[in-house]
Structure 1
Amino acid sequence: MREAFRLETTQSSGTRLAVANEQAKPQGGILPDRDIAELFETGSIAIPRARDEDQIQPASLDLRLGDRAYRVRASFLPGIERTVEDKLKRFSLHEFSLEDGAVLETGCVYIVPLQEKLRLPDDVRATANPKSSTGRLDIFTRVLTDRGREFDKVAAGYDGPLYLEISPRTFPVLVRQGSRLSQIRFRRGEPTLSGADLEALHGEHRLTSDTAANITGGGIALSIDLMGNADDLVGYRGKRHTGVVDVDKRGTNAVADFWEPLYRQGRGELVLDPDEFYILVSKESVHVPPAYAAEMTPFDPLVGEFRVHYAGFFDPGFGHDAAGGSGSRAVLEVRSHEVPFILEDGQIVGRLVYEHMASLPDRLYGADLKSNYQAQGLKLSKHFA
């Protein structure tokens, strides 16, 4: 596989991205930041107020909550013949304002109209995912569209509003109009790399720190680290009956008030309790080169009955530096399904799928954006001191 792009660095201008071989540029791909900005300019994304300065990421757009929310009886999909508003008329328990903020309780399901509305071109489709900080708070979110038959999927040419289903699982959270819990990626064509292309890319750019990586057509495997750091810390388990986390405030909560630290046991084992939420970390470091984006598969029944990594988007530049990409470890949000499940150190817990960018983004994840989780190890969300 020929490399489509290269990264140039100069002392005078900092990081500068350029096309190295225009003929090698992939057909279609994930839309970068400049193309997302163009969707606003052409009216493909409509908003009632100016967008936030940092709302556009290298390969995705943060979605903002609107000014009202609905507590509903249960999660739902509208189906091919219904709008979300139709279903809200049937299943809404009450409506309330988010203008001055409101607490969303654990175990409840809420639907919030988003500020962004779409009028996508016929060749552009989209997928959504929780933001990293949302996943690390165990806030379960999914995007809905009118007449949608799948969560987090927006069909090519979709013309209509977006809604966010929100269900806090461990901590009650304070949200308000403009809070950003979810993100959306836009794509053209079929940008997912084949197994052969993924093998070649790993050989050239070292996508994970495992040189003998387990690569299939579905992605590159990541395993769990249960040996811990120098203090034998392997992860955290969320506490129950805690205070409220304000999703828009950084570093205001004490770790001990919300999390129980977990330390290495024996040869590196951890029993996942079905009712508990865990923050763990991958054994491998992950590298996403500038011309690519990646996404973690959240649930794979072939590796165990648990869900890993609610927030699956890895932007171009994650774990990358100008010298060639040293990698950052993937922090994993883990829940077991139905029954207790024993994890062992080095066990495969998920797969990272890589996709071509349609073109290089203007800015990369990391130094360009002062990103929260670049060069991370085991790390809680930005809300904790």
Structure 2
Amino acid sequence: MILRYEQIKELIKIGSIEINPFDEELQLQPSSIDLRVSDRFYRYPKELEPELQILDPKNPYLNILERDFISNKGIVIEPQKFLIVETLEYISVPENVAVFLQPKFRLAKMGLSLINAGWLEHGYEGNITLCLQNINDFPIRIFKGMPLVHIFLSKNS
């Protein structure tokens, strides 16, 4: 069963669900919670780009991601490029609650694809890592603190 506003609000109030930072007025929707972009993102080191012909899970050297920070001017995702960001919010849900990720529609209609949309395990805890791809022909700018995804919570009886 997908939880509704009052159910989510009650589980947060009693501490069963933790979201930090959390602004109820801005983030709590009728049946979802908006999560925002943190200032952290990950990419393949620029100096490796000319060498990257193939990403191979058996060659960890070529799969090293470097962490960087999104400035106040945001970060531009060029057409057909891939970027990994984290949510600003740390979340923790109990073992009987699963989390479903969906991109915010206003970003999806700009061509920003959330590659790892779907379910997180019951009892998930941590910041959520989001894999983004610009499938548009135009660059897309994202900013730290902007709503990027919303999560729906499903509770087992």
Matched, 1:104 2:77: yes
Q: Which residue of 1 aligns with 2:34?
A: 62
Pairwise CA RMSD: 2.8
Change (3 A) 1:142 1:39: farther
Q: Which residue of 2 aligns with 1:380?
A: none
Identity rate, percent: 27
Unaligned runs of 5+ in 1: 1-28, 77-86, 144-150, 191-385
Amino acid at match of 2:152: R
Specify which of 34, 53, 56 is matched with residue 6 of structure 2: 34
Specify which of 34, 38, 43 is matched with residue 71 of structure 1: 43
**Partner Cα distance (1:182, 1:36) in 2:** 17
Q: Which residue of 1 aligns with 2:145?
A: 178
- Per-residue CA distance 1:336-382 (angstroms, 9 max, x = gap): xxxxxxxxxxxxxxxxxxxxxxxxxxxxxxxxxxxxxxxxxxxxxxx
How far the C-alpha of 1:100 sits from its partner, in A, is 3.6
Amino acid at match of 1:131: K
Q: Which residue of 2 aligns with 1:206?
A: none
Write 1 or 2 for the structure with the bigger share of helix.
2
Normalized against structure 1, the TM-score is what? 0.33
Amino acid at match of 1:91: I
**Partner Cα distance (2:89, 2:156) in 1:** 23
Write 1 or 2 for the structure with the bigger share of strand.
2
Q: Which residue of 1 aligns with 2:132?
A: 166
Amino acid at match of 1:46: I
**Partner Cα distance (1:46, 1:53) in 2:** 13
Contact 1:70 1:92 in 2 (8 A): yes
Q: Which residue of 2 aligns with 1:319?
A: none
What SS does the corresponding residue of 2:127 show, helix, strand or coil?
A: strand
Contact 1:130 1:142 in 2 (8 A): no
How far the C-alpha of 1:127 sits from its partner, in A, is 0.8
**Partner Cα distance (1:130, 1:70) in 2:** 19
How far the C-alpha of 1:43 sits from its partner, in A, is 5.8
Unaligned runs of 5+ in 2: none
Contact 2:20 2:91 in 1 (8 A): no
Q: Which residue of 1 aligns with 2:121?
A: 155
Change (3 A) 1:37 1:100: farther
Normalized against structure 2, the TM-score is what? 0.76
Greater length-normalized contact order (CA 8 Å, ≥ 6 residues apart) = 2
How far the C-alpha of 1:184 sits from its partner, in A, is 0.9
- Per-residue CA distance 1:43-93 (angstroms, 9 max, x = gap): 623313x4262321111111100012122489x9xxxxxxxxxx9x94325
Contact 1:64 1:116 in 2 (8 A): yes
1:194-343, aligned counterparts within 5 Å?
Answer: none
* Displacement over 4 Å in runs of 4+: none
Specify which of 101, 104, 107 is matched with residue 128 of structure 1: 101
- Per-residue CA distance 1:107-147 (angstroms, 9 max, x = gap): 1111111012222111111111111112211111145xxxx
Q: Which residue of 2 aligns with 1:284?
A: none
